A and B are shown apart, each in its own frame.
Chain A
Amino acid sequence: MIPLWLIPLFPLVGTLILAVISISSSTSKKGANEGLVGGIAVLFPALAFLMVLLLSFGLPDAGYRETLCTWFDIQAIRADFGFLFDGLSRTMLLFVTGIGTLITLYSTGYMHGDRGFARFFAYINLFLFSMIMLVLSDSLPLTFLGWEGVGLCSYLLIGFWNSDLKNCKAANKAFIVNRVGDLGFLLGMLALVSVGGISLLSYPELAAWLVNPAMGEQLMAGMPLLTLAGLLFFFGCTGKSAQIPLLTWLPDAMAGPTPVSALIHAATMVTSGVYLLARLSSLYAILPEVLMVITFVGLATAFWAAITGLLQNDIKKVLAYSTISQLGYMFMAVGVVAFDVSIFHVFTHAFFKAALFLGAGAVIHALSGEQDMRKMGGMLKKTPLTALVMIFGWLAIIGFPGFAGFWSKDMILEKLYVSDPVSGPILYGLALLTAVITAVYMTRLMILTFLGKYRGDASAECHIHEAPASMLIPMLILSVGSAFAGFLWAGLIPGAEIFREWLAPVLSTAQTMALGGVHEGAPVSPWIFAGLGTAAALIGIAIAWKLYSGNVPAPKDDTVPKGKAADWTFFFDKFHNICGIQETRLVAWFLDVVVNRFIMLLQWFVGAIAIILSDGVRTFQVRKIRLQMGFSILGMILVIVFVALYGGSL
């Protein structure tokens, strides 16, 4: 068997080599050879993907588990470097490394000519390494290492073009907002440990502990703490996966290069929250209240982000809000205990969102950096292949029948409907409405970008060109994926559920446990759900067609929404400002004005005493040699008198 640690090792080695190249070429004017750097950068993720592929065949139900070494072992806390390769991590790793490799290949074309070429790919490799650690680890502490790693790498990559202050601020925002979520993760681990000891931090042992009947009483006693742990972990996930309330960083993260956005949105980073929830499925299965919270947060996020997507003029911002919205769907699925469906949507979303982002990147590349959709238009004729890729991604995200998003989104909607006889249909209706809005804003994006006439500068028009092969090949592969990935679990076709079988060994126990007595069979035929989903997509297209074809808003200087649109878009920024930033400022002001002044006073006091004392002593040290001599003789006399009086035996 191939040792598991080889999978994360490859991108790590890639990172180290690229870092050495980047540093050693930092003084040369031209930078390192792009062919060499690009080759190394693609090779190592590709090797990791190959390892995952080889391991995927003939995987036993229990998966592979191996412990490399003890990470740290201090009193009360012990963590091992252990890896777990089972159905869930296999699925995640397949697309993390696979799509990660494709995006890296695309970046070699996109970043061509950039001065920080080698540095960029060092970061990308580190990003993939962190994500692999996150997914492959068998315990929460090691997952936390990867969790922090992706946070760091997102910071480095969002702020990659660090000569612009705006990008640096966006990077800081992403990092700081994520740290708030990380606090939830840490406290969640603490809560788990306080319920059942350090061994609960390991996933298999946690699952075993939760179903162990001998632990029944301890479990009941620890229920409030476990609920708290569930909420805290969910809070951590809202940070990484950009859910309410910690979602403001993701739209700002568009400041990074476009392949980075694709990487963050498709393969790494935002999927980790959903992954963690699925990994802790056995914990969430016994916490119905927390699941309810997750459902509502997911629904609210999906709806809010879909509306916000309508109001954006920046092509990447639209895609960013669509990601938040789709993540909302995934959280809804988790909330109704459909962990496998949620992971399935992560999987299909990875394909079509990567295709959409890479397509958008190709459009931006063709237009020499223009991101304002109002200045695009007519790209269908100029870049037909890019348009084709985008159309595939678009059909997938709006849930057009047969495309990837159709299968996964429909399954989520269906699970929402059957989750509860009363609230289920309401949830279903709202989610379906969100699907309509999704179709509207995505169709708007396509119309503004690809149809109509070109509306940008005439000078840029002659430069418009199709992307190079290194960018087109990954895009085409991903578009094929967004067309056909859904057939791995096509609900309407009997027997086409390979994906569910992949995940079943890991997730089915928790799901059957949670659903327990709930009636599972759908009372309505799946064809009706499929029909309604298709209708939602078509209605959305029709509305968008009516509203936006031939009716393009006039371009302005910047793409930031104005007026009511700004109120809606920046609602959560304002919310953070009111309950978070202002309080922090208040504390900072208090520390600055009161505590700092107090400490300064103490400091000054000590200093003043020293000065006063030394001033007194200084008067003895005047420049009178005879006086000094007199003092020394006086001192000697004092010593003699002392010795004479006490005889030297004090």
Chain B
Amino acid sequence: MKLMHRLTAAIGARRAWMCFPLLTLAATAAMGGDAFAPSPQREQKLVRMVRQDCGSCHGLQLTGGLGPALTPAALRAWSADNLAATILHGRPGTPMPPWSTLVSADEAEWIARRLLEGFPQEGTVVR
């Protein structure tokens, strides 16, 4: 099992590396804005997902829990690319799972950028 785990991790890391130049290009193209923007409905879903589902480990306010804090101050040392790769492929050896079956690479990049600038709050809760 451990071997498989490591193998998956290695493949994950390799994929992340292969993504790197592409993501960098996207970032350059997006100076001052994003190359990719989810639809308003999807955006709402992503914001809720990060706040609520990621929040079950990282906290609703993203101030940390079992997972580390995801506030801009806490993420100072992180690039958007590395964050996006972590979202997609997880962190082997920790409880952080790979989310690539639930978000696309573009969406992971979008989430990473929002985290670095201070993640948006959810819209008013509908009763």
Determine if chain A interacts with chain B: no
Which residues does B use to contact A, with CB under 8 Å?
none
